[in-house]
Amino acid sequence: MERAGRGMARERAWLESSRAGDGEWRLTALGHWDLKAAGALSGTLDRFALDGGGAVSLDLSRLDAMDTVGAYLLSMLSDRLKAAGHGVDLSAIRPEHAALFDAVREVGPPPVERAETHHPILDMLERTGRTAVDGLREGRDLLSFLGLITITFGRLIVNPRRLRFRSVMFHIEQTGLNALPILGLLSFLIGVVLAFQGADQLRRFGAELFVVNLLGVSILREIGILMTAIIVAGRSGSAFTAQIGTMKVNQEVDAISTLGLDVVELLVVPRALALMITLPLLAFYADIMGLFGGAVMSYATLDITFGQFIRQLHGAVTLPHFVVGLVKAPVFALVIAMVGCYEGLKVSGSAESVGTLTTKSVVESIFLVIVLDAVFSVLFSFLRL
């Protein structure tokens, strides 16, 4: 009996070969073909070769043991012989090994990974399409979450005793009272900047007094509520996401669900209701501070007294200007609270996820606020308000 491949050592006699008179090779697998011997078996098979052509009869009846790794190596040996031009025939195999070997043969070799070629334009189009699809999916999920909040609000209207008033009052303090300093300062400065820039332009036409008209209309209709919503989105909306996200990380939200409590009723509705109450009040406060800042700058640069400022403001703005700004406030508040809570509930359980979704909630809130403000502007223009 000669060895296949004259230079191959016996190596614990895992594989023996002999050649019949008709040129047919007979390969006999011996010993243990398992995970423990996989390293040495792989080296043996890498060096294995048959001198000359001819059919091959593979005998597996003398195997002492075979596991999935051994069956895979035998399958690779069979495939390699076929690729070399040998016809391979499985002549004998034990019944306890046959099922495992057949299962491995059915799975086949692992797929060959092909190097993908990337085209920058196609990659850009792919990213654009994926972003658009993700945005549509996000909008659909937000709309679904809005429906869930609406249903929960309706249930609480029917049964007001389920509403947690203490939680609502707590969030009113956090989102409203604690926001007054930063909102007042920024609104005052916005009024100062608008008055200064407006006076610089109107002075060229000798119409400095009309800077009061500019301040009144712009702050009451647009700037006041828009700046308030943006500040609240960055301050309170991000806080909602971080708070609920941290509860998700600590599995407190799961505990609430396990106790049979409604997560939306317990965590979302109090925040949304509190923000819908406080945002109109904050917008009114921002309007007053913005006009006050404009009045101070008008007095400093244009010598317009506070009495003149108030009389000119009274003639420049009407009640609809004031109402138009405040009507937007509850809608903006609901959107900010909805996005903040929705992103918080999406946290997957890591600190990185909390940070990412907090940033995402602020961006989405500000984007939706500006889009809704544009929609309101078109609507009010159509209604001639």
DSSP 269-324: HHHHHHHHHHHHHHHHHHHHHHHHHHHHHHHHHH---HHHHHHHHHHH--HHHHHH
User: CA angle, 319 as apex, 321 and 282 as ends, to 5°?
Assistant: 65
- What does DSSP assign to residue 48? -
- CB-CB contact of 17 with 81 (8 Å): no
Q: What is the pLDDT along the chain (385 residues), one digit of tens a residue?
A: 334 443 333 344 567 777 666 667 777 777 777 777 777 777 777 777 666 666 777 777 777 777 777 777 777 777 777 777 777 777 677 777 777 777 777 766 666 566 566 778 888 888 899 989 988 998 899 999 999 999 998 998 998 888 888 999 999 999 989 999 999 999 999 999 999 888 888 887 777 788 888 899 889 988 999 999 999 999 999 999 999 999 888 888 889 888 888 889 899 999 999 999 999 999 999 999 999 999 999 888 888 888 888 998 888 888 888 888 889 999 999 999 999 999 998 888 778 888 889 999 999 999 999 999 999 989 988 888 7
| Residue-level pLDDT at 1 | 36
| Residue-level pLDDT at 63 | 75
Specify the residue for token string 């596991």. Answer: 67
Q: Name which of 92, 13, 17, 78 is nearest 52 in CA terms.
A: 17
pTM score, whole prediction: 0.68
| Residue-level pLDDT at 7 | 36
| Residue-level pLDDT at 6 | 38
| Residue-level pLDDT at 351 | 81
- CB-CB contact of 12 with 31 (8 Å): yes
Q: In sequence order, which residues have a C-beta less than 8 Å from that of residue 266 and are 6 or more positions away?
A: 164, 167, 256
| Residue-level pLDDT at 9 | 38
Tell me how far apart the alpha carbons of residues 323 and 115 are, in angstroms, rounded to a whole number.
62
Strand order in the sheet with 25-29: 15-19, 25-29, 56-60, 88-93
Q: Name which of 295, 117, 112 is nearest 194 in CA terms.
A: 295
| Residue-level pLDDT at 11 | 41
Dihedrals phi, psi of 60, to nearest 5 degrees: -110, 10
Radius of gyration of the CA atoms of the chain, in A: 38
Q: Name which of 295, 316, 321 is nearest 222 in CA terms.
A: 321
